[in-house]
Amino acid sequence: MISQGLLFLTPLFPLMLAVLACFERFKKNAGILAVIAVLPALLLSLLHLGQLEATYLSMPAVLLGSVWHTHPTGMTFLLFTSVLWFFSALYGIGYHKADDKAQRFWILWLLTLSGNLGLLVSADIISFYGFFALMTFAGYGLVIHTGKELALRAGRIYLIMAVIGEMLILTALFLGSAATGHTSILAQDIAAAIPESNYLNLVMFCLFFGFGVKAGIPLMHLWLPLAHPVAPTPASAVLSGAMIKAGLFAWISLFPLGYLQSSAWGMLLILFGFVASFGGGLIGMLQQAPKAVLAYSSISQMGLMTVTIGCLFLKPELTPIVIPALAFFALHHALSKGALFLSVGINNQYQSIPIMLFVIGMLLPALSLVGLAGSGIQAKLLLKEGLYALYLPGIVTGITLSALATTGLMFRFLWLLRQERRESGQVTSADPWMQLSWAGLLLCGFLAPVMFSGNLETQSILQQPFEYLGLLWVPVIASIFAVWFISHPLRASVPQGDIIVLIEPWFSIKEASAGAKETRTKPNLLVWADKDQQPTPSATLEIFSRSQVAALLGVLLLFANVLIWLY
């Protein structure tokens, strides 16, 4: 009964608190409501972490028959999601203490939280999609919170990409339900039935690219480097640490992992994953804002997770071994990346923190992402151990070499923080809420192998010294080049949004005077430091979305969804 009660409250408690936050009497305490909103989810995940037995909550009268449940992978995702939202909300109390729009922010925060937690406990596709959509569209309010021009533009691109993703997801869910003969709406039944579907490749395409919007795969990543820098820091932390993992969780839940062996889909996912891993690293090192570097770092790390999913289509029998390791890797990344985002706001409070603690706090999550400290060591070793059974040395070597990109990104991030602190010359007053939450998230990330590993068998470095040396050599070599790279002024940079900059000129129309002819400017991806050019996000997608072509495409996709459902 306790488990079912906590399961019921996991997504609904934040919704109830969002209603309370709308009243004037709770305006000043809305941040406190956001902190306590995750408690049922946190207790539920700790109670069921590592347990193989699932708890079900069936509600036949809700929608078409909602079913919520707990399962090992879902509980790992629920654990790091609730921990990250908890500390980010605690951080936000100090961050938004002087914000006159804080009440609105916290209401949207609670709605987004409800969606994020709800999709992790949903066993049926109706509940799953409902919570996923709630998280997506309430998250838009977090992106545009400041109301500045760049935030609004990033929000519009976020919405456009979200709508494209939602349409693909709906198509996949309709076809998946049809694969079962419309006899089940449970995600596990649909995943098992997809290999027998007449529209197998279409379903796989829609699932991959639809949820790939959240996961930040190449071509669908456009919103990430625009939204992260403009969103408030606590929102950036949950966007990159928790919400981006919703795409990964959806793949694990709905892909026919363990049921389908396909070299074509396996190699496609591996290709996209490595492009994201190395491409995100390269573009991220050419960024000028710390949070933009972290956005591309998230794309790079999600690329490794995409590679892992692709490997499971090559050898489906490895699914029970690899999925727990992948879930722990996601946990490690969420906590470490969240701590790095929170450190952006702590950067100017360094004089109020003992210098050794400040340096350790800045370096620890960076070293963890590289795989040299904390949970990063165990996460990478567990992931590689699961993939060694593939007997594809090229893939394991590629994952090892991805540390080159991660090392360069972390050097670039820390260097930009240092430059930002030196150039501003301002020291903000110490805020205990921000510092406490930052320290708490650092400890959780460092102690994750001990606290949150569940039934995974982790070993200390002393028990596997040679394996650890295998993680060490790539970052050491990368550090030599990274030190030289960051110590020299960059002559060029890539604007946030990268390929949007290439697309914009073909749709942008500049009028020199009334009645002037339409002209197209040449795309310029690199912005040179010696020119007065500012890397601004493009309005291309906004312009295109208002065109008749986009409207026609939307209508056609809508009709396609209806026809598929009727069929």
- The arithmetic mean of pLDDT across residues 460-481, rounded, is 70
Q: What 3-state DSSP class applies to 188?
A: helix
Is the model more confident about 481 or about 82?
A: 82
Confirm whether 559 is domain-assigned: no
- The arithmetic mean of pLDDT across residues 320-325, rounded, is 90
What single-letter DSSP state applies at residue 349? G
Q: What 3-state DSSP class applies to 53?
A: coil
Is the model more confident about 1 or about 337?
A: 337
pLDDT for 487 equals 58
Average pLDDT, the chain: 82
pLDDT for 9 equals 94
Two tokens, residue 483 = 């030190």
Residue 417: pLDDT band (50, 70, 90) is confident
- The arithmetic mean of pLDDT across residues 112-121, rounded, is 96
Confirm whether 45 is domain-assigned: yes
- What is the distance between the alpha carbons of residues 546 and 177, in angstroms, rounded to a whole number? 33
Two tokens, residue 371 = 């795989």
Exposed, middle or buried: residue 14 (CB in 10 Å: 0-12, 13-18, 19+)? Answer: buried
Confirm whether 557 is domain-assigned: no
pLDDT tens sequence across 185-234: 999 999 999 999 899 999 999 999 999 999 989 888 888 888 988 999 99
- The arithmetic mean of pLDDT across residues 156-172, rounded, is 92
Exposed, middle or buried: residue 565 (CB in 10 Å: 0-12, 13-18, 19+)? Answer: middle
The strand pairing partners of 281, in sequence order, are: none
Decide if 75 contacts 328 (C-beta within 8 A).
no
Two tokens, residue 428 = 């903000």
- Indicate whether 544 pLDDT > 80: no
Confirm whether 216 is domain-assigned: yes
pLDDT tens sequence across 240-273: 889 999 999 999 999 999 999 999 999 999 999 9
Residue 506: pLDDT band (50, 70, 90) is low
Is the model more confident about 403 or about 440?
A: 440
- Indicate whether 119 pLDDT > 80: yes
- Indicate whether 528 pLDDT > 50: no
Please give the single-letter amino acid code of residue 267.
M
Confirm whether 402 is domain-assigned: yes
Q: How many domains are there within the chain?
A: 1
DSSP 515-541: TPPP--PPP---EETTS----PPP-HH
Of 361-365, 490-494, 507-511, give the range with the top mean pLDDT.
361-365
- What is the distance between the alpha carbons of residues 299 and 497, in angstroms, rounded to a whole number? 12
Q: What is the pTM of this model?
A: 0.86
pLDDT for 346 equals 86
- The arithmetic mean of pLDDT across residues 37-50, rounded, is 91
C-alpha 197: how far from chain center? 30
Residue 543: pLDDT band (50, 70, 90) is very low
Residue 130: pLDDT band (50, 70, 90) is very high
Is the model more confident about 491 or about 262?
A: 262
28 CB contacts (<8 Å, ≥6 apart)? none
Range from 219-228, 291-300, 302-311, 368-377 carrying the lowest mean pLDDT: 368-377
- The arithmetic mean of pLDDT across residues 404-431, rounded, is 79
Please report, rounded to a whole number, the percentage of residues in the chain having pLDDT higher than 90: 43
- The arithmetic mean of pLDDT across residues 545-550, rounded, is 46
Two tokens, residue 289 = 């804002």
- The arithmetic mean of pLDDT across residues 40-55, rounded, is 86
Range of the domain at 12: 2-493
Residue 548: how many other CB atoms lie within 10 Å: 7
Confirm whether 109 is domain-assigned: yes
pLDDT for 426 equals 63
Confirm whether 302 is domain-assigned: yes
- Indicate whether 533 pLDDT > 80: no
- Indicate whether 519 pLDDT > 80: no
pLDDT for 504 equals 54
pLDDT for 274 equals 93
Ramachandran angles phi, psi of 124, nearest 5°: -105, 155
Report long-range pairs for 482-490 (Cβ below 8 Å, ≥24 apart).
482/407, 482/408, 482/411, 482/412, 483/411, 485/285, 485/408, 485/411, 486/411, 486/412, 486/415, 489/529, 490/286, 490/529
pLDDT tens sequence across 327-383: 999 999 999 999 999 998 888 777 677 778 888 888 899 888 888 887 888 888 888
Residue 432: pLDDT band (50, 70, 90) is confident
Q: What 3-state DSSP class applies to 58?
A: strand
- The arithmetic mean of pLDDT across residues 512-526, rounded, is 43
Residue 505: pLDDT band (50, 70, 90) is low
pLDDT for 145 equals 93
Confirm whether 183 is domain-assigned: yes
Please give the single-letter amino acid code of residue 514.
A
Q: Give the relative orientation of helices 102-121 and 2-21 as an angle to the nearest 10 degrees.
A: 160
